[in-house]
């Protein structure tokens, strides 16, 4: 049993939630996938293993994973929320190609520090932030010419 599973089971126990095969299956599949996945994409994979699972359950489990600290929401502004691993996957921002949609995870400690300073200069205590950098990747730039 890996660490994430452990955290999930502890979370269930602590909140009087029950350990069901649906929750286990959805957890497994989420953990195996790296990257950013939408509820629908996850549901499509889950269905293959157990066609009787409803998509409402996928949404419900994703909420649990967030509360348990195992998942984090990403909003690229296209109307679909995606989810990524949070455990052992520290904060980062995203660089997104407007041509092909490719995303890279980036972090710059100087920017992070300056964000805190900017907030403080307005009397704010910064809790978190979102930063999306949009542009064209090398591939897409070459194709454009």
Strand-pairing partners, residue 138, are none
| Minimum distance from residue 87 beta carbon to DNA (Å) | 21
Residue list 61-120, contact with Zn ion (CB under 5 A): 97, 99-100, 102
What's the rounded Cα separation, in Å, for the pair 56 and 53? 9
What's the rounded Cα separation, in Å, for the pair 33 and 20? 21
Residue list 66-85, contact with its own copies (CB under 8 A): 75, 77
Backbone angles phi, psi at 81, to 5 degrees: -85, 135
- Per-residue interface string for the shown chain with its own copies, residues 108-137, x marking contact by CB under 8 A: x-xx--xx--xx--xxxxxxxxxxxxxxxx
When binding is defined by CB under 7 A, the residue of 19, 105, 113, 120 that contacts DNA is 19
């Amino acid at each position: 049993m890996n660490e994430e599973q452990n955290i999930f089971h502890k979370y269930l126990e602590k909140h009087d939630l029950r350990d069901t095969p649906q929750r286990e299956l959805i957890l497994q599949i989420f953990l195996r996938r790296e990257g950013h996945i939408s509820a629908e994409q996850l549901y499509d994979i889950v269905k293959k293993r157990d066609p009787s699972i409803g998509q409402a359950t996928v949404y419900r489990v994703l909420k649990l994973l967030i509360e348990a600290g195992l998942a984090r929401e990403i909003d690229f502004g296209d109307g679909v929320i995606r989810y990524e691993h949070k455990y052992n996957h520290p904060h980062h921002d995203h660089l997104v190609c407007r041509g092909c949609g490719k995303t890279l995870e980036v972090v710059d400690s100087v920017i992070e520090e300056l964000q805190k300073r900017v907030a403080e200069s307005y009397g704010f205590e910064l809790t978190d932030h979102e930063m999306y950098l949009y542009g064209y990747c090398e591939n897409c730039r070459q194709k454009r010419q």
